[in-house]
A and B are shown apart, each in its own frame.
Chain A
Amino acid sequence: MDMDKETLFKKLADAVIDGDEDETARLAQEALDTGIDPYDAIMQGCNKGMAEVSDRYEAKEMFVPEILLSADAMYAAIDILRPHLKVDDTVAKPATIIIGVAQGDIHDIGKNLVKMMLDVAGFNIIDVGRDVPVETFVEKAVEHNAKLVAISALMTTSMMNMEPVIEGLKEQHSGAKTIVGGAPISQDFADNIGAAGYGKDAVAAVRIAKKLTEA
């Protein structure tokens, strides 16, 4: 007997929290097979699960190894559901965010977590990778008419390559705001270089991204 929608969404969310990618893939397929709207399955199953993961990370109840497993589990479901999403031209397109690691830095676990959380939150994400030259951030922001540029850095050397991106955007794509994050970054440093926002972790980055793109 098919389980009802709400039960399936709950099980999907729980499987995301548990980092069980076999189970999320199975449930995603079951959602499709039973005619559940894949958008609802993503929003009420996967996203709810990931939101709970975020809360538990903030409460220091979950840590990065668990989050990486939850992310894999979530994408196992989304990869099955996404091709079946209905295109609705009447709905406004999501804001585009350019995300990357500052020049001089190859540490991208933090960036990848933020990317995943922003993706789940419904943004259109353009990932420009790691060790990204200043010009690339600016060019990609112009090319994709981005509303936001998110830059991460783990080193005191690479964090010094954030301000030139902000300056470049002012000149070439003033419609885009910048958020910064990473181990050496603080609110004070973000204010100092003229960033519009600072995310102390992936959860905070999503919060500030929503605030800045809604403004």
Chain B
Amino acid sequence: MARMTPPERMGAVMMGEKPDRVPVVPFILGYSAQITGVSIGDIYADGDKCFDAMFNSMRLHGYEQTPMYGYASLGPWEFGGEVMFPYGKGHSAPSVTKHPVMSIEDIENLEVPTFEKELPGGFKESDKVAKRCVAMGMPATIQTGSTFTASSVVAETSLFLKWIFKEPKAVHLLLEKVSDMFVNALEYFAETYGPEHCMPFDGGPVEANTILSPKQFKEFAYPYMEKLHKKIKELGMPAVLMHPCADQNLNIPYYVELRKKLNWEGRYFWLFGPETPIQDQIDNFGDHDIICGNVDPPSIQYKSYEDVVRLCKENIEAGKDSPNGFVLAPGCEFPPLAPPIKVMAMMDAAEKYGRYD
């Protein structure tokens, strides 16, 4: 098979065809800043710097991931709270310094951000990245979830988790408002760039079963995920990047239900945490979707090049023949401080063990 370019490789996977080799989407965010000479804080505070760093990192390494903007604590800034950008030692993503919701009354008074004039918070930076991506023929990757994780930081997190029992109606009201913000975001990006150019990115760590029970997931996370994915389907967006972060094995039946219930013809990219065996992902989603790898991110950070190649090899061997395609990826963000040789380890593993010809 002739050697493909990265866009051809991803295009083949998207079309359900075999590429020349397994594509590599290393889920790089902060790392791109480290190796292009800007601070991690800058790529979150300025969408243009984000695009430049991620585009240059992509060119440098030759992987298949295109630039994207997003972080786990998205939500508070957009609802009028405050975040701190990661300029300090050891910081890797924006963190909340002022939650907009500290009481039930705050939930009642919370106003859903609109996208009619100035875009709210991080979406203004995300828009800069989307604009430049689409202008160059790459997808506009937009963070539109998860509603549950975003709500858990719009409100002070411990209070939010306790309100699940003490104030369930108020929790639902907050989830409704946060999901309405994401609906507004989906409509804005679809209208601005065309739905065919948009790839929503949904996922978060607070739904993990180390925190939340599957019953709580069903009652408080699932309905708002379904609401957003219905919207994605209505708008005609062709693919969604789903990242059920950390251990969400007990939630898998609900992700399967989502898929079935919407009867959607688009494609999901499933990027689970390292706790979910690749075979389980294939069994649940492989018939229609693209399975991403889940190499353990901390291992990428501190283990040797050889160890990382071995871990990638195991990932590739487990997923390569998934019926609708496989992409090599870590199980969460690529460690921002990892040395570049670790990206090389992923690329080398894909070349050596991921070829289809």
Stretch from B154-162, B176-184, B236-244, B252-260 at the A interface: B154-162
Q: Which residues of A sit under 8 angstroms from B211, Cβ to Cβ?
A: 63-65
A157 touches B336 (CB 8 A): yes
Q: Which residues of B sit under 8 angstroms from A161, Cβ to Cβ?
A: 89-90
Q: Which residues of A sit under 8 angstroms from B250, Cβ to Cβ?
A: 60
B161 touches A160 (CB 8 A): no
The smallest C-beta distance from B169 to any residue of chain A, in angstroms, reads: 16
Residue among A60, A64, A104, A133 having the largest count of chain B Cβ atoms under 10 Å: A64
A183 touches B301 (CB 8 A): no
A156 touches B162 (CB 8 A): no
B213 touches A69 (CB 8 A): no
The tally of CB-CB contacts under 8 A between chains A and B is 91
Q: Is A100 part of the contact surface with B, judged by Cβ < 8 Å?
A: no
B165 touches A104 (CB 8 A): no
Q: Which residues of B sit under 8 angstroms from A106, Cβ to Cβ?
A: 95-96
If A68-B161, A102-B90 are given as contacts, then 19 extra A-B residue pairs at C-beta distance below 8 Å, sorted by A number, are A63-B211, A65-B165, A69-B166, A105-B90, A109-B157, A131-B90, A155-B93, A156-B301, A156-B335, A156-B337, A156-B338, A157-B30, A159-B301, A160-B302, A161-B89, A183-B205, A186-B298, A192-B302, A201-B210
B212 touches A63 (CB 8 A): yes
A interface residues, tally (CB under 8 Å): 33
Q: Is B37 part of the contact surface with A, judged by Cβ < 8 Å?
A: no
Q: Which residues of A sit under 8 angstroms from B300, Cβ to Cβ?
A: 156
Given known pairs A64-B211, A104-B89, the reply for A109 and B165 (CB within 8 Å) is no
Query: Contact check: which of B158, B164, B335 meets A157 at CB < 8 Å?
Result: B335
B90 touches A103 (CB 8 A): yes
Q: Which residues of B sit under 8 angstroms from A155, Cβ to Cβ?
A: 90, 92-93
A157 touches B337 (CB 8 A): yes
A156 touches B336 (CB 8 A): yes
Q: Is B137 part of the contact surface with A, judged by Cβ < 8 Å?
A: no
Q: Is B246 part of the contact surface with A, judged by Cβ < 8 Å?
A: yes
B212 touches A156 (CB 8 A): no
**How far is it, in angstroms, between the C-alpha of A3 and the C-alpha of B333 when the chains are bound?**
56
Q: List 12 A-B contacts (CB under 8 A).
A: A64-B210, A64-B212, A68-B161, A69-B165, A72-B162, A104-B89, A105-B90, A106-B95, A106-B96, A156-B335, A161-B90, A183-B246
**How far is it, in angstroms, between the C-alpha of A69 and the C-alpha of B301 when the chains are bound?**
36
**How far is it, in angstroms, between the C-alpha of A183 and the C-alpha of B335 when the chains are bound?**
13
Name A's B-contacting residues (CB within 8 A). 19, 60, 63-66, 68-69, 72, 102-106, 109, 112, 131, 133, 155-161, 183-186, 188-189, 192, 201
B90 touches A69 (CB 8 A): no
Which 3 residue pairs are nearest across A and B when measured between Cβ atoms? A104-B90, A156-B335, A157-B92
Q: Which residues of B sit under 8 angstroms from A104, Cβ to Cβ?
A: 88-92
Q: Is B114 part of the contact surface with A, judged by Cβ < 8 Å?
A: no
Given known pairs A63-B211, A63-B213, A104-B91, the reply for A160 and B158 (CB within 8 Å) is no
Q: Is B297 part of the contact surface with A, judged by Cβ < 8 Å?
A: yes
Which residue on B lies nearest to A182, using beta carbons? Answer: B298
